[in-house]
Structure 1
Amino acid sequence: MGNNFEMVAKTMYGFEEILASELRNLGAVNVKTGNRSVSFEGDKGFMYKVNLCLRTAIKVLKPLKSCRIRNEEDLYNEVYKMKWEEYISFNNTFAIDATVNSDKYKHSLFMALKAKDAIADRFRNKFGKRPDVDLKYPDLRINLHIQNNNCTVSLDSSGQSLHQRGYKTATNIAPINEVLAAGMLLLSGWDGQCDFIDPMCGSGTIPIEAAMIACNIPANINRKEFSFEKWRDFDEDLFDKIIESSLKKTREFNHTIHGFDKAPSAVRKAKDNVKNANLNDYITIYEKNFFETCKEKDDKLHMVFNPPYGERLNIEMESFYKNIGDTLKQKYPLTDAWLITSNLNALKHVGLKPSRKIKLYNGKLESRLVKYEIYEGSKKAKYNFL
């Protein structure tokens, strides 16, 4: 426990409790939920593990310093005092991402530039040379978080957002973010214990995330790199052991995962992405119009999908959503169907009473994740021939 340090995992609105649960399951200690974030403690190996395995985290930060600031000069002075030479040399590159929630400081870019100047000036004054800024592939990515007068300076151990899993080379119109897809699946209670369908699968994100959950495959196993791999104290052998031990915890999946889409271009993209994720054994993608399909087995079925909202697609929404309800009611008995939409008016036309409604955001769009429990019709109707 002596080598443990505090970390903060960032997430999306509504996923804080799921992320906290993921962290506890992986072995985190002192787990505390915040606003779109969860703080926790672990050691270096655990930092590698959470980057590799968390499904609902966007970033994992390692806080270095928290302080109160009254103005931009305070920020400059506090950042200048930090021993940046312990993390990079003047031959390296760095980048600063800033998030500012304050009435006093309006521009996050300006605050990031102020912190950048402080680091550059410290190096120039100490060594006569300074590290360059590289916004795309820096050796050290620094995160600045300012809430009113409170400032936290952290190292970003992830780099690119963790929703960029590495398997998606092709996207469709209005693709769904991988973290959002995984969070929806976990909120829906998906655990791989029955058959699964995404009836409007687009580029295949939801079926892929569903298969990874069902088989307990680490979320970011296909990712090319994490920021911590460029840190001075990076332990490659330890990271290899973490990967190996995480892969040993995968499990077999004895049901089916199907994705439907009526657009040939979407089907091609989804098949490519399934192949990239090495999940061809678990997922089958079909070119089908959901409204012309029906349930093929009498067993329980789990369904999660992201129908069009009308944001970027030209569809008559009311009749489209009525069709969703009719298809579920008439052709998909014994199904738990979950869908996400930001078109709350169109949702009224589904014609089914949702048993759950959860507020989420798809990008900046306020949305609802809703659950419809489709039963097998009344027993009276079923046995009226007696």
Structure 2
Amino acid sequence: MEGNFKMIAKTFFGFEPILAKELRDLGAMDVKEGNRMVSFVGDKGFMYKANLCLRTAIKILKPFAGFKVFSEEDLYQNIKRLDWDAVLDVNGSLAVDATLHSEVFTHSKYISLKTKDAIVDRYREKYGARPNVDLKFPSLRVNIHIEKTWCNVSLDTSGDSLHKRGYRTATNIAPINEILAAGMILKSGWQGQCDFLDPMCGSGTIPIEAAMIACNIPANINRKEFGFERWKDWDEDLFEKIEASSLKKVKDFHFEIVGYDKAPSAVEKAKDNVKNANLTEFIKIERVDFFETEKRNDRHLHMVFNPPYGERLQVNIAEFYKKIGDTLKQNYPGTQSWFITSEDEAMKNVGLRPSRKVKMFNGGLESRFLKYEIYEGSKKRKNQL
């Protein structure tokens, strides 16, 4: 029985500390932050648990081999030498992804192809037969990462990216990535301690991730499959035990989570997704224009949202963000409001001073995640700024 081994969880820029905390809270050992990744140590059961429960991991990789490479021939020979029989049957299937940060190797598709050739040639020479290539549902997904002249070969335990939670069948224009949504909510400090509002909820991703955080529901409980389920050493009983023990830690939640959107199509999609995530009892989705709303009660309110901005959806930036600022200031006292934007002009037009600015990327767009504290009564607010 294999004991503990090192793994790597990949994440977005700036999310490394959040992911490291998630890993420690789950019980990972030797947690170390890197660049868009966190390494950690655990056993096979922990590998299953990390895939099931982590909210801010894109993929969990299991290192398989590492070596120096100076040419494509080096790569081919080194890959061919590895003991692929331990992880892949001759009648199985494989896919290869490559990431390169090297002056020697510059074409990731070619490196993927060369790796695949080396693996199948090994089988062909040994058995006179070879595994197939299956890019969608392979038995084994191999990850090649070349940094200058060092090549890391890893096995992708996740399969599809972990943002594919399994609850979102309907999406709107420019939906927010589930991992980005979860990271924003965790970064904002929300753990289910008060009411929550997403005033521009689109297809409902932020309220859904917020409810899963509040109730401690495993992030990927609705997912159909993980990469490791096709591995030779897949242990279904162990996975079911891990799943059952994770579900025992689910908590109750006694506040309101609400999502507003003014588009009827978005509201329908959000309601469908909330239902798919089995969270209907915790989340209310309403068709309203945020600019015509006010805070419903005097309890503290936590707000996280992803407003439209130029590159994503066309709006008049100056006018739209002034309205956001005015609505918050006039109608939402006692609110902590966070939103993400890639527009410098947007920040200027809000008319409030953010108490925090966090750099993040939304897709390829460099963005800022902004925090605005809206205090009870404007005088008190001015004194505290």
Shorter-chain TM-score bucket reads over 0.9
Match of 1:81 in 2: 81
Match of 2:182 in 1: 182
**In the aligned structure 1, how far is the partner of 2:2 from the partner of 2:313?**
54
SS of the aligned residue for 2:284 comes to strand
**In the aligned structure 2, how far is the partner of 1:225 from the partner of 1:296?**
41
**In the aligned structure 2, how far is the partner of 1:13 from the partner of 1:46?**
24
**Does 2:189 align with 1:153?**
no
Aligned partner of 1:343: which letter? E
**In the aligned structure 2, how far is the partner of 1:101 from the partner of 1:312?**
29
Aligned partner of 1:238: which letter? L
Match of 1:14 in 2: 14
Please say if residues 89 and 232 of structure 2, whose CA atoms lie closer than 8 Å, have aligned partners that are also in contact.
no
Match of 2:270 in 1: 270
Distance apart, 1:314 and its partner CA: 2.5
Aligned partner of 1:273: which letter? N
Match of 1:243 in 2: 243
Distance apart, 1:35 and its partner CA: 0.4
Matches within 5 A, 1:104-183: 104-183=104-183
- C-alpha distance after superposition, 1:41-92 (max 9, x if no partner): 0000000000000000000000011111111111111100001111112211
- C-alpha distance after superposition, 1:328-373 (max 9, x if no partner): 0000000000000111222210000000000000010000000000
Match of 1:194 in 2: 194
Query: CA distance change for structure 1 residues 312 and 185 in 2, over 3 Å: closer, same or farther?
Result: closer
**In the aligned structure 2, how far is the partner of 1:380 from the partner of 1:274?**
38
- C-alpha distance after superposition, 1:195-244 (max 9, x if no partner): 00000000000000000000000000000000101111111100000000
Match of 2:52 in 1: 52
SS of the aligned residue for 2:347 comes to helix
Match of 1:374 in 2: 374
Bigger drift between 102-111 and 255-264 goes to: 102-111
Q: CA RMSD in A?
A: 1.2
Aligned partner of 2:239: which letter? F
**In the aligned structure 1, how far is the partner of 2:171 from the partner of 2:379?**
44
- C-alpha distance after superposition, 1:13-52 (max 9, x if no partner): 0100000000000000010000000000000000000000
Query: CA distance change for structure 1 residues 379 and 319 in 2, over 3 Å: closer, same or farther?
Result: closer
- C-alpha distance after superposition, 1:277-309 (max 9, x if no partner): 000000000000000000011010000000001
Match of 1:384 in 2: none
Matches within 5 A, 1:276-355: 276-355=276-355
Distance apart, 1:380 and its partner CA: 7.3
SS of the aligned residue for 2:94 comes to strand
- C-alpha distance after superposition, 1:177-208 (max 9, x if no partner): 00000000000001101000000000000000
Aligned partner of 1:79: which letter? I
**In the aligned structure 2, how far is the partner of 1:313 from the partner of 1:221?**
31
**In the aligned structure 2, how far is the partner of 1:10 from the partner of 1:289?**
37
Match of 1:365 in 2: 365
SS of the aligned residue for 1:310 comes to coil
**In the aligned structure 1, how far is the partner of 2:355 from the partner of 2:103?**
40
Match of 1:253 in 2: 253
Distance apart, 1:313 and its partner CA: 2.4
**In the aligned structure 2, how far is the partner of 1:30 from the partner of 1:145?**
22
Match of 1:207 in 2: 207
- C-alpha distance after superposition, 1:254-280 (max 9, x if no partner): 000000000000000000000000000
**In the aligned structure 2, how far is the partner of 1:273 from the partner of 1:122?**
45
What TM-score, normalized by structure 1, do the two folds share?
0.97
**In the aligned structure 2, how far is the partner of 1:189 from the partner of 1:159?**
30
SS of the aligned residue for 1:337 comes to strand
What TM-score, normalized by structure 2, do the two folds share?
0.97
Match of 2:234 in 1: 234
Aligned partner of 1:360: which letter? M
Bigger drift between 99-108 and 131-140 goes to: 99-108
Structure 2, unpaired ranges of 5+ = none
Structure 1, unpaired ranges of 5+ = 382-386
**In the aligned structure 2, how far is the partner of 1:104 from the partner of 1:85?**
29
Moved over 2 A (4+): 378-381
Aligned partner of 1:32: which letter? K
Aligned partner of 1:62: which letter? K
Match of 1:39 in 2: 39
